[in-house]
Amino acid sequence: MIWNETMECMNREDMRKLQGIRLRQTVERVYHNCEPYRKRMQEKGVSPSDIQSIDDIVKLPFTSKKDLRDYYPFGLLSTPMSEIVRLHASSGTTGKPIVVGYTRGDLAIWDEVGARCFTAYGLGKQDVVQVSYGYGLFTGGLGAHGAVETIGGTVIPMSSGNTEKQIMLMRDFGAVGLACTPSYALYLADAMRDSNISRDEFSLKVGAFGAEPWTEAMRKELEAKLGIKAYDIYGLTEIIGPGVGHECECQNGTHLCEDHFYPEIIDPETGEPMPPGEMGELVFSTITKEGMPLLRFRTRDLTSLIYEKCECGRTSVRMNRILGRSDDMLIIRGVNVFPSQVESVICEIPELEPHYFIVVDRINNLDTFEIQVEVKEEFYSDEMTRLLDLRKHIVHRLQSVIGLSPDVKLVEPRSIERSQGKAKRVNDKRKLS
Ligand code: DLL
């Protein structure tokens, strides 16, 4: 099922033309209505008339998270405050949050792209969807909420937390779709198993999981545990929220809504565009937003793009799974490590639960690298030799995937703290000193 066939299946040449027209309009808008953008463009010697087609985008300056902080709270708006009908914010790790203002038109775009996501997952008017992303300043709850209402489905505005009630209502209201972070979905799956309710009593068929990186192995785990198809939903506050991209029934890359959000991949070191298909940092320009359009916003997310037509019929560009954020990358003893690599190894070992925590420290000038991982109930025995063998096997697999031998600590089931929103999987103590 396709929500907006014209846009999602447009031939690539027409799409580029449309993107060029929309980019030009956006550049005009920010140049005339947003002082920081005008100054930046003038400094770079670019004027709106230099932007004739989408290829000219490389002439424009980048925008970063730092810019959003520097112009906190409303300095990057391109409309008067009277046109702004909603604010969202995301709290970063440091300092002030990042604030985004939406006009009515922006909210309509958000509903439209959100509707494309849930339609692509096979959901429609007849379906009940439980939204267990947090509601509030975080875009997850209200974003998914608007999307489900737009396709005409029935939304259960659960928000996160209160797991027992989540499970009860999911069963009683016959939720077919579940929208939450993959880590919370895992938590719910375990809690459902522990409740005395049999799986047949649930109607769940589809998961819309995102807001944090997750792996193919985690998808398999979630699909098996919940008996569903688990789809990716991607987005970020600065650009709009959930709905920037989504998977389709082929589960082979995340389609980006590129008629609204134009993606580029750049070399994170030099800022130069990467050749098509290569991995690098994802950059977005919003080309239809009114309230706070962003040009060439550096997401810090690392991925690559696929431009071939998908088997589902959509021609929209697809994004490979996000390896992680460049600022999540750990450099341990000189080796680059992403938590997602650790996750993929853990999920492939049947004796382990997909719950882990990484602790990095520096002792006597040497990096230490510890991974705590839960062993499944049935394998967690007092028999030391069995656990030692398992530990050896994990270290060996991690060594071959990431090139480092961590200190693996096997811990009891349920002993690692669970998250109801985005999972926190790393404690890098080196940053504190
Ligand atoms: O997480 C918006 C969202 C809500 C997306 C619900 C999907 C579902 P932020 O809090 O601003 O917004 O965080 C954005 O989260 O730059 C990525 O690093 C990460 N992220 C979001 N979706 C995915 C995904 C929301 N599907 C940041 N896969 C982004 C991997 C994701 N990472």
Question: Which two tokens mark 220?
Answer: 């398999």
Output the CA 197–ligand 1 centroid distance in Å. 32
Question: Which pLDDT band, with edges at 50, 70 and 90, does 92 fall under?
Answer: low
Q: Do 255 and 318 contact (CB within 8 A), yes or no?
A: yes
291 lines ligand 1 (CB under 6 A): no
Helix (H, G, I), strand (E, B) or coil at 330: strand
For ligand 1, the distance from its centroid to the CA atom of residue 212, given in whole angstroms, is 5
Q: What is the pLDDT of residue 432?
A: 59
Q: Is the CB of 160 under 6 A from ligand 1?
A: no
325 in ligand 1 pocket by Cβ < 6 Å? Answer: yes
What spacing in Å lies between the alpha carbon of 362 and ligand 1's midpoint? 30
Between the CA of 259 and the centroid of ligand 1 the distance, in Å, is 20
- Contact at 8 Å (CB) between 264 and 294? no
Ligand 1 atom with least separation from CA of 238: 11
For 161-219, write each residue's pLDDT tens digit: 999 999 999 999 999 999 999 999 999 999 999 998 999 999 999 999 999 999 999 99
Shortest-distance atom of ligand 1 to CA 322: 30
More confident of the two residues 122 and 364? 122
Instruction: Name which residue sits closest to atom 14 of ligand 1, judged by CA.
Output: 236
Q: Closest by alpha carbon to 358, among 316, 379, 330? A: 330
324 lines ligand 1 (CB under 6 A): no
Instruction: Flag whether pLDDT at 281 surpasses 70.
Output: yes
CA distances from 194 to 132, 168, 229, 381, 421 (A): 19, 13, 21, 20, 20
- Find the 271 Cα to ligand 1 centroid distance in Å: 22
Ligand 1 pocket, 243 CB below 6 A? no
Identity of residue 40: R
Mean pLDDT, rounded, for 81-105: 90
Residue 236 Cβ < 6 Å to ligand 1: yes
- What's the whole-number mean pLDDT along residues 219-239? 97
**Which residue, by CA, sits nearest to atom 28 of ligand 1?**
213
What separation in Å is there between the alpha carbon of 341 and the centre of ligand 1? 18
Q: Which amino acid is at 176?
A: V
**Given the DSSP bridges, would you call strands 177-180 and 206-210 parallel, antiparallel or unpaired?**
parallel
Tell me how crowded residue 169 is: count the other CB atoms within 10 A of its CB.
16
Q: What is the pLDDT of residue 380?
A: 85
What CA–CA distance (Å, rounded) separates 261 from 294? 10
User: pLDDT of 243-280, one tens digit each?
Assistant: 999 999 999 999 999 999 999 999 999 999 999 999 99
Structure confidence by residue, pLDDT tens digits, 404-424:
999 999 999 999 999 889 999
Residue 211 region, left (φ>0) first, then alpha (ψ -120 to 50), else beta? left
* Max CA pair span of the chain: 73
Q: Give the pairing type, strands 324-325 and 330-332.
A: unpaired
pLDDT band at residue 94, thresholds of 50, 70 and 90?
low
> Could you tell me the pLDDT band of residue 328, with boundaries at 50, 70 and 90?
confident
For residue 232 and ligand 1, the question of a CB distance below 6 A is answered with yes
Note the pLDDT of residue 400.
Answer: 92
Residue 365, pLDDT above cutoff 90:
no
Instruction: Quote the pTM value.
Output: 0.94
Q: If you take atom 9 of ligand 1, which residue's CA is the nearest one?
A: 236
Give the span between the Cα atoms of 53 and 23, in whole angstroms.
8
**pLDDT at residue 83 tops 70:** yes
Return the pLDDT at 383. Answer: 79
pLDDT value of residue 93: 56
> 404 exposed, middle or buried (CB, 10 Å; 0-12, 13-18, 19+)?
middle
Nearest to 287, CA basis, from 10, 107, 20, 5: 20
Measured CA to CA in angstroms, residue 15 lies from 54, 115, 264, 294, 296 at distances of: 10, 20, 15, 20, 18
Token pair 């991949």 is found at 265
What token pair was written down for 338? 């992403």
177: number of Cβ within 10 Å: 27
Question: What pLDDT, in 10s, does the model give residues 132-167?
Answer: 999 999 999 999 999 999 999 999 999 999 999 999
Closest Cα to atom 22 of ligand 1:
211
